[in-house]
Structure 1
Amino acid sequence: MTIIDEILKERPVGTDSNEKVCDFLLSKAIQAGYKTITLQFDCKRWTKDFSYIDLDGNQYELFPSPFSQPFEKTGDLEIVSTLEELQNKNITDKIVLLNGDLTQQPLQPKNFPFYYPDEHKTIIDLLEDKQPKAIIAITGKHPMCGLNPFPLFEDGNFLIPSAFANKTTGEKITGRKGLTKLKIASKTENSVGRQIIASKKSNGKGKIVVCAHMDSKYGTIGAIDNAAGIEVLFQILDNLKDYNGAYDIDFVPFNGEEYYGVIGQLEYLKHNGNEKSEIKLVINIDSPGHVASKTALSTYNFIDCKQTWLDTKISKNDYIEEGSQWYAGDHAMFAFQGVPCIAVTSSNLFETVLDLTHTSNDTIGNVDFDILKKTSDFLTELIKDYND
């Protein structure tokens, strides 16, 4: 039985299924002889139900934003399509429909620790300052996953109730005036989660971090994203259980990549503290093994001789290729600090895989286990041969 067989379930941070996955992965690391550390953290879990806007007695379905506050009231509907309109219109105590330029991409959560662009901060600050009753966002296809429509907000710290809808629903709402009834059936509860670390002390020349996020979004079992990555991580963990090379190794199934607060990642960084400079290489495995792909490796902060060494290894394997850089993954927080990183994914990430992620279509039929095995064997030898 593979690792995937045991963890292939909807498993957002803070849920019972996430806890069961943590238990299973922890037991596998202990069985392999690794020293394990468990970091507990506070988080939120989310549930939702049927939500709608009522127009002239007709109910049109809306989707609650993940972690939104609940709402069931009437209010005047105000349509806002541009930043200028958001700055100038009086939207206080109204139901605001956002569309157009304001809803082309999801907004980063408030004060996201690794990336919070000024234009997102401006929109969120204006909304919080003007205090509408609630927000409906009309969105389309997510630029970096398969969701269509996508939630404009996914942030438990953003307290204005919000929902989202597709463009068809948006056309029916746009132009309406007067009192409108809105129901957003959304509930958050306090919960706890865990960040697991499996460590092997070796000859102390520094540390290699091998990571892959274990959590999923709500509404998907996340086969490619990222049960496949956890499968590869634990195959490497098992391959290296007798490792005695130059570097200590941390195997980290990050618990929070799909959570608005990336809380497992922050707990790991806090745990490392002043040892950040000891990390000589990070290997992040995210969405590998698509049935129609090879494995793509992209590098960050690699000096020329190190890149040449890796290129030579890649050239000897027809199932591995050099990939384009991408930053929407757990390697980014290390890469931004200058740490050498390798990101491992499917070679058709941008053409095919992203359209599966975060959706119900991300199923086990998309996973090629032979590619996963070859990838784990390649990365195992890479770690054995690595010399900073």
Structure 2
Amino acid sequence: MKRIFFAAFAALASLCPASANPPPLAVIYVRAGHLIEPTNGRVLDDRLIKVIDGRVAAVEPWHEPPQGAKLIDWSEKWVLPGLIDAHVHLADYLQTSNPAEPLLHSAEETAYLGARNARATLLAGFTAVHDVGSYRGTGNIELRNAINRGDVVGPRINAVGGYITVPGGGGEVTGLPSGMIVPPEMRMGVAANPAEVHRAVNLMLDKGANSIKLIVTGAVLTEGTEPGQIELSGPAVFAAVETAKARGSWVTSHAHGASGIHSAILAGSRGIEHASLIDAAGIAIAKAQGAYLVMDVYNGDYIAEVGRRDGWSASILRKNDETTEAQRQGFAKAVRANVRLVFGTDAGIFPHGLQARQFAYMVRYGMTPMQAIQSATSVAAEFLGWADQVGSLTPGHWGDMVALNANPLADVRALEHVEQVMKGGRIVQ
């Protein structure tokens, strides 16, 4: 009986040779005129990058690749790893003057907007992002899944799902006309105490979130909240951190005010988003705890200009004025203290695809161009827990890279004009 079975199996295998042999490896070569490697801050001239099945296999001094090999000639360009924006909101509409805006778009429309935003972000050279919240709780999770399936063109996404926020807090839709109801899918993360935070974190992780976003203080753009006011207590943050940790995940915290920053870091939050009103003690705590600060130092100018032009509320404009310059001075102090600073822009408040405008602000407030590039590559990858996957063009990392016509180390604004983008060994622009 065994002989009959093996004979039949051998006959079947002879009819289906493809099933017995793995597909050939996809191999491409990239000639980089000037390769910026952020992990060591070096610039390597005239390099040959070998990419196999989407990942970097070797980086060598230029030599002719094998005859007939596919070669991408970037010999006249500056090449660096794909950029990472660690604070975006892809699966939503742009900020407007109408506080009811989140309720005016269907789930279907929002999904199409997310696809458009993802494409714009990728074409601007950002091959990975941290999507830190969508009003429809699973919007960014489903967008990530669509990109991973190949249905939508976009960056790699670390998605948090919806915001974990107190009732009426900075992650809620507030300031609505009387009688207008916020639907349940926009309140998935509302939690009033540590027990409810535990539940909400588990819900987001069950829905497929990679990590968790807490709203620890009030927000500039949420009516009825104040940036300096603590909303989620230290015990609530600790409950979120421990719940996420038990499931192999982690937490970052929206916190503008100094007290909220202290509380969130000491409770175990890996990152602080905005950190607008950070003080000397907050910088020292971040340094001591190894926390990451994600400070959107470009965004305030956009809000001030467009908000006044388009009639955003006086409250929002006031809060923006109170936090913008303070945040930039705090950023400069954090640079001098050598705190871990991550590139994150809050894109979605301003149009997606314009994120690289922030690099010039980071340099203006104390970073070198190389430090700014590292904040959006190797440091951002560390923050996301993806240091072995992205943020570098050393062997084993994804073949995510961008090519520029000008040297960003001489003028960091060159990053605003990405010439070509590769994600996973494939040219997307």
Task: State the TM bucket, normalised to the shorter chain.
Answer: under 0.3
Instruction: Judging by fraction of residues, say which structure has more helix.
Output: 2
TM-score w.r.t. structure 1 length?
0.26
Instruction: Judging by fraction of residues, say which structure has more strand.
Output: 1
